[in-house]
A and B are shown apart, each in its own frame.
Chain A
C-alpha cells in the first residue's frame, strides 16, 4: 500500500475513496468474521483451560470428533474419484446429456441441504421406498453412520469436479495424446501427465470438499437422529450442547471445528506461498 502511494502521487479525493473502501472492507470482515471467531474461543475458555479440556474429553465429544473424521475420510475420497471421473468425462468427451451432467453436478449447491437430507430419509427411512426391504435385511441407513456418509457425499459432490472441469477443458488433451503415442499405457498417462497437470486444482478441490464435509449441518441433521455418541457429528454436537444450555461445552466443540477450518486455510495458504510461482506457471495460458 505504502509503496504504491509513494511511487505514484494520489490526489486527495482518490485517497479518500481508497481509505473509505478499505475501511468498509476491513470493518465488514471484522464484524462478520473475526468477531464471531473471537467469540467462539472466548466463550470456550470462559471457565478456564481445565474446564475446556474436561468438556472436550467427555465421551460424546470424542465420539463426535471420531465420527466427523470418519465421515470426511469416506466422503472425500469418494468425491475425489467421482470428481476426477466427472471432470474427465466433461472435458474429454462429447456425449449426449453432457449439459445435463454439468447441471446435476451443481445440484447440491442449488438446493437446500435440508432437502438433501430429506431425500435420503424418503428413500431409506422406515417409511421410505426402500425402508421395509432394508429393514427386513437388517441394514440401517437412516439414523446411522451410512446415512451421514450418504448425505455428506451428496452435499460435497460438486467441489472437486467444479475445480477440475474448467482447468481440464482449457488444458486440452494434447499432452495425454503425446504420452500415448510415446508408448505410455492408460495408467502411466494418467499418473504421469494428467495428475501433475491438475494437481493444484485437485488439492484445492479436496481441501474445500473436506472443509465442507466436516462442517456440514443441515443435511446431516435430518438423517442423523441425534443419537449421542453414535450419530452426532461435531456440528450436531455443538447444537445439542447449546440447546442443553451447556455453553462452554458447545463453544469448546465449536472451537475445535473452527480450528479444523483454520488448519485447512493454513495448509492452502502455505501451499500457495511455497509453490506460488509454480501454480502461476501451470495456470492455463501461463506457459
Chain B
C-alpha cells in the first residue's frame, strides 16, 4: 500500500508541530523520520497511528481516506518508545492481546492464536519467556515483546517510535541489525522515528529529515549525507565545520582559502560553507591556499582519529578526521603547526539579511585533491 501524506499541519497551543508536510511512502519501504526533539516527527507518527489528528491536510492509503479510518481499523503495528507493554499481562497475553480483542467473527480460533504467539516468540527469540511479566524482562527483551505484539495483528504498516532510544549501546547495535533483517524478511512497510542520525543512516532506505515541523530533505542515506539540501541538514547529519565566506576581490574566500570558481556569477556577496572533518586535508609542508593551524588535541577513536585544529587567522577551531595509521606517518602530535585546506564543501549563498538561498546550493569539490 502506498501512503500519501499531503499538506499536513498540526498546531499545539504555542507552536506548530507540523507545518505543511507532504510525503509519499511506498510499499515495503523502510523510512526514518529524523529530527531533533520538537521537530514534529513523533506527531507525524502519531497521526499515522490514529492517536492524533492533523488540523488540515490529508493522508490517503491507495485511494482510501486513511484519516477517516479509526485507529483500530488501520491495520497498524505500533511500538512505543517505552514499549507500553501491559504490565498486568504475561508476555504471551501481551502478544495475543490484539487477536483476543477482535470481534468473535474475526477472532482466530484459540489454537491458532496460540500457534501464532508461539511462532512470534520464536521469531523474537523469547521462547522461554512467555509466562514472564514485563517487569521481569530486560530492556531489549521488552522491546522485542513490543515488536511481537505489534506484528501479531499482521499489520500493513509498522510504526516505531524511537525504537532503540531506551537501550544501552551494545543491545542497540544488535537489535538494529536484527530489525533490518526482519524488515528484509517480511517486506513490511516500516516508518520509524529517531533523533539518532547514525541509526537512521544505517537502517533506513529513505530518510526524512525534519526540523520545526517542516521537512528539510527526503532522500537515501547517501544523498542526505553527501548532498545535504539545507544548512540544517548539514549540521544535523554527521559532524561538520561551518565557515562564513565573504567576497574578496571578486572571489569567495575565508582567510587564505579562496575559491576560483563561482557558479553564482557574483550574485551573492556571502556564503556559508560546510566542510566535513574527513574533507579537510592536512599537510606539514606550507601550502599557498589553506590555513595554518595549531594541532590542539588528538582523539583516537579506533580506526579514525578526530583532530582539533585551532586556526588563529579565523579564530576558529576546526575538526578533521584522519585514518589512525596516518597519525604516525604524518608525525602528528599535539602542539605542532599544520596546514589545512578543504577538499570538498557544501556552500549555501546568503543574501544580505543572512538568509541562505538553499535551492542555489553548490557542492564544491577540489579540482585535484592535494595528497596528504
Q: Which residues of A are at the interface with B, using a C-beta cutoff of 8 A?
A: 174-175, 177-185, 188, 192-193, 196-197, 281-282, 286-287
Contact = CB atoms under 8 A, between A and B. Distances in A.
A177 B97 CA distance: 13
22 contacts: A175-B84, A175-B85, A175-B87, A177-B51, A178-B149, A180-B51, A181-B50, A182-B72, A182-B101, A182-B149, A182-B150, A183-B73, A183-B98, A183-B101, A188-B101, A192-B86, A192-B97, A192-B101, A193-B86, A196-B88, A281-B135, A287-B134
Looking at A175, A178, A180, A185, which has the most chain B CB atoms within 10 Å of its CB?
A178
A287 B72 contact: no
Nearest to A192: B101
B87 A180 contact: no
Given A180-B51, A181-B71, A183-B153, A282 B98 contact: no
Interface residues of B, number: 27
B49 A181 contact: yes
B53 interface: no
Given A174-B80, A188-B101, A181 B72 contact: yes
Contacts of B85: 175, 178
Interface in B105-160: 133-135, 149-150, 153
Q: Is the interface of A mostly helix, strand, loop or mixed?
A: helix
B98 A177 contact: no
B84 A177 contact: yes
A194 to B, nearest CB: 11
Interface string B81-104: 010111111000000011001100
Contacts of A193: 86
A192 B97 CA distance: 9
A183 B101 CA distance: 7
A163 B149 CA distance: 31
Nearest to B52: A177
A136 to B, nearest CB: 50
The 10 closest A-B pairs by CB, nearest first: A182-B98, A287-B135, A174-B84, A196-B88, A178-B84, A184-B101, A183-B72, A181-B78, A188-B101, A180-B71
B8 interface: no
A21 B253 CA distance: 80
Contacts of A287: 87, 134-135
Contacts of A197: 87-88
